[in-house]
């Protein structure tokens, strides 16, 4: 039980029962507040009378003394903003000094992707003739060939697919609809899956979903991750594979082959162009290579 932050227990109850936060989220808030509480004790600060400068000092402490990343510092400050908003609402304090703090700049992490030869290794490793192998080969080819999120992939219904036009109606984030297109490689595997694999899984059952599991039910996101884990073990690739890496590869390879950024944005279903812009950092190395090989004055 907290001896410094009097409202701590009530606040955690508020997060659980009024805000309906998950146990994991509440636990994160709890850990952040415990760190803050230890700091208050060490610095002999009254949490209800904390000044803006003292709040700034705590942010610096998280970064410099605790060596937390920018994203972790932001999470801590966000937790304290929420806690102090609660205190203001409960009329325990007059103002929230943490709402005045600027968040640290986010570290730009370049998306991880597969090189062309690595994609080929994965595709070769996914080949097989069993119903499961046929289905999983299609999943791999479709994730790389369409740039879909896994949650979007497993939610595809047969009625969403225009087979003649090789396009799929996708309901993405925020229930925003877009069209995804697939290539002839995907088409070949899709036809085989629908003819040989899907009927085997369904047996006498019916399903509106394209991808089904061995019991004929909707395939889960976790099942796709498990398949990719098994697949990477069959190759010589020393990478921690994630389904999103195939989406990153889709975008990176399109830009490498000359596709414009706006088109990639629309294909990915990004709301803003800035979200897609991170892929240009990945392709900059390739542009540098092209420049050094192509410009007359760049030759030795």
Active centre residues (catalytic): 149, 173, 244, 247, 270, 279
Using alpha carbons, list the distances in angstroms from residue 65 to 61, 100, 207.
Answer: 5, 22, 55
Task: Round to the nearest angstrom and report the end-to-end CA distance of the chain.
Answer: 70
Report d(CA 110, CA 118) in Å as an integer. 18
Residues in the chain: 300
Collect all residues with Cβ–Cβ distance below 8 Å to 153 and sequence separation of at least 6: 139, 142, 143, 146, 211, 224
- Residue 298 is classified by DSSP as G
- Give the Cα-Cα-Cα angle 267, 186, 212 (nearest 5 degrees): 95
Collect all residues with Cβ–Cβ distance below 8 Å to 264 and sequence separation of at least 6: 251, 254, 255, 276, 279
The sheet carrying 167-171 orders its strands as 161-162, 167-171, 177-181
- Residue 119 is classified by DSSP as H
Alpha helices, DSSP H, located in the chain: 8-13, 23-43, 52-60, 70-89, 116-125, 131-146, 150-153, 184-192, 198-202, 221-233, 243-256, 261-268, 273-294
Report d(CA 2, CA 40) in Å as an integer. 12
* Short-list 15, 51, 52, 49, CA closest to 32: 15
């Amino acid at each position: 039980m907290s001896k410094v932050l009097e409202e701590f227990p009530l606040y955690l109850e508020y997060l659980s029962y009024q805000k309906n936060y998950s146990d994991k989220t509440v636990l994160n808030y709890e850990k952040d507040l415990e760190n803050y509480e230890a700091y208050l004790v060490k610095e002999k600060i009254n949490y209800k009378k904390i000044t803006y400068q003292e709040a700034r000092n705590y942010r610096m402490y998280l970064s410099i003394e605790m060596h937390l990343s920018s994203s972790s510092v932001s999470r801590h400050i966000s937790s304290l903003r929420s806690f102090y908003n609660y205190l203001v609402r409960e009329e325990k304090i007059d103002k929230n000094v943490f709402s005045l703090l600027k968040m640290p700049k986010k570290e730009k992490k370049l998306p991880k992707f597969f090189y062309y030869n690595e994609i080929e290794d994965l595709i070769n490793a996914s080949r097989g003739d069993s119903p499961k192998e046929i289905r999983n080969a299609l999943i791999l080819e479709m994730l790389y060939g369409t740039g879909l999120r896994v949650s979007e992939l497993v939610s595809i219904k047969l009625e969403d697919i225009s087979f003649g036009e090789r396009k799929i109606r996708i309901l993405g984030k925020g229930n925003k609809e877009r069209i995804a297109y697939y290539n002839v490689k995907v088409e070949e595997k899709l036809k085989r899956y629908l003819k040989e694999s899907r009927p085997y899984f369904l047996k006498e059952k019916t399903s509106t979903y394209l991808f089904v599991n061995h019991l004929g039910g909707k395939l889960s996101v976790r099942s796709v991750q498990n398949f990719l884990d098994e697949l990477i073990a069959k190759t010589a690739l020393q990478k921690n594979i994630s389904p999103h890496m195939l989406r990153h590869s889709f975008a990176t390879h399109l830009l490498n082959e000359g596709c414009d950024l706006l088109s990639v944005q629309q294909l990915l279903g990004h709301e803003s162009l800035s979200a897609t812009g991170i892929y240009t950092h990945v392709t900059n190395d390739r542009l540098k290579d092209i420049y050094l090989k192509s410009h007359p004055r760049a030759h030795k």
